[in-house]
Structure 1
Amino acid sequence: MKNSAISYKRHRFPATYHRHSVWLYFRFPLSLRLGQELLVERGIVVSYETIRRWGRKFGPAYAKQIRRRRPSQRGVWHLDEVVVSIAGRKHWLWRAVDQDGYVLDEIIQSRRDTKAAKRLLIRLPKKAGMPPKRIVTDKLRSYGAAKRDVVPAVEHRSHKGLNNRAENSHLPLRKRERPMQGFRSAGSLQRFISIFSALRNLFVTPHHKRSALATHIHRIRAIAHWKAVTGAVA
């Protein structure tokens, strides 16, 4: 796979430094300073602020290059929302995942109402290129009202116990909140999760392929694809 969209020109450090720094920061629950320490072990001496700048510059470009998997035409989408604190104020992260836990879309919004649910349901089919067979949500009534207006023909199941897949999808971000010491703005969190989820989609093994061999093969392919999209291989 030949990459021509990401340029490392006019940067003092080799491109390997950028790729590895961004991978460490967005793939693992590390603070910038812990990422800096791991880089020192590899002989890469940069400041944690440099890692932050590289993440802001190259992270979105990497996420854009990562191949998006097209959802199944008979897929089941799990929708859920979770509260996040941004600069001391309550916001809501609305997320949709498929039956394998693959993140389809996520939006930071200040409200937890029908208007916010409707915005997610309008965006989802556009990004996926098709509607789902079924959506599964918790008991929040806003989903039912939004669904009737946006995708009335799609089956809707509303049950707390059926939506564990969406609820579990929040856990990786929860693990990141503490080392990052929270988020400063809704825009910065939206940028972060777009990169964070793209890498997670690439590297996390789907639920139906959890044998040791399948996991190993999946990781090898993910690493190869990561190297390709970041320009590590021709």
Structure 2
Amino acid sequence: MKKTCHPRYARHRFPAEGISQAVWLYFRFPLSLRMVEEMLAARGILVSHETVRQWALKFGQAFANQIRRRLPAPGDKWHLDEVVISIGGRKHWLWRAVDQHGTVLDILVQSRRNAKAAKRLLRKLLKKQGIAPRVMITDKLASYGAAKREIMPGVEHRQHRGLNNRAENSHQPTRQRERIMKRFKSAGQAQRFLTVHDQVANLFRRPAHTNAEDHRRVRAQAVQVWAEVTGIASAA
């Protein structure tokens, strides 16, 4: 395998292409670390699952930050939802926001499901996005209304369970990963993993109602962006 000279991979004995592929496999598909280890071995890259874990920790967030900067501007309609996850035998709540196109805007793992927690999510969203939405859609949890009135008083708020299917559906990949990983070990681990996971999913998300030709074109563009983000494009 050709070795890519990129400062990000200085002092790593494995080539950038192998590291990039390992991180991509781990965050893109519902695979355990040991599964990724075996898939890499089949490609002639002999590393341990612990090495894959360390690569994911070291490079994942940096890749996710670059993906976020390269994605199109989010839509003006935000869908917010929360789902319970068990961490160390304790109940936590995963709060997630997506736009009308299905792009995940942000996530926040918290131990509470109240107005204070909803305010934290809205403040985080506004800081990241830099602009308030035109419409905010949630279920009927009263905490959303209380938080919206304080943080985004001018935003239209629609509360109806049937309107929020897009946000509820966005939790399904998390449930898959939760099973593969045999639950998250801590709130911090869940926050770190899902922050990267959702951005990688955004990059490779297939737009609705596309034919096979458009799907291949969008996928090729995503692969090219990934190569640029990870620094392996310079090897071409």
SS in 2 for 1:106: strand
In terms of fraction of residues, the more helix-rich structure is 2
Query: How big is the shift at 1:6?
Result: 5.8
Which whole-Å CA distance do the structure 2 matches of 1:136 and 1:5 have between them? 43
Greater mean alpha carbon deviation, residues 162-171 or residues 31-40: 31-40
Cα-to-partner distance string for 1:18-73 (whole Å, 9 max, x where unaligned): 1000000000000111111111110111111111111111111111221243223x
CA separation in 1, counterparts of 2:195 and 2:94? Answer: 12
TM-superposition CA deviations, 1:57-101 (whole Å, max 9, x none)? 1111111221243223xx110000001111111100100000011
- Verify: 1:148 aligned to 2:149, yes or no: yes
Aligned 8 A contact 2:134 2:156 in 1: yes
Deviation at 1:166, TM superposition (A): 0.1
Contact 1:102 1:206 in 2 (8 A): no
Aligned-pair RMSD on alpha carbons? Answer: 1.4
TM-score, normalising length: structure 1: 0.94
Distance between the aligned counterparts of 2:228 and 2:151, measured in 1? 38
**TM-score in terms of structure 2 length:** 0.93
Per the alignment, residue 225 of structure 2 pairs with 225
Q: Distance in 1 between matches of 2:131 and 2:65?
A: 20
The CA distance in 2 between the partners of 1:77 and 1:185, in whole Å, is: 28
Matched, 1:186 2:187: yes
Cα distance in structure 1, aligned partners of 2:46 and 2:124: 42
Paired position in structure 2 for 1:37: 38
2:173 aligned partner: 172
Give the CA deviation at 1:5: 8.6
Q: Which amino acid aligns with 1:225?
A: V
In structure 2, C-alpha distance between the alignment counterparts of 1:43 and 1:91, rounded to whole Å = 40
Are 1:107 and 2:108 counterparts? yes
Question: Residue 216 of structure 1 aligns to which amino acid in structure 2?
Answer: R
Q: Runs of at least 4 residues of structure 1 off by over 3 A?
A: none
Unpaired stretches in structure 2, ≥5 consecutive residues = none
8 Å CA contact 2:6, 2:231 repeated in 1: no
Query: Which blocks of at least 5 consecutive residues in structure 1 are unaligned?
Result: none
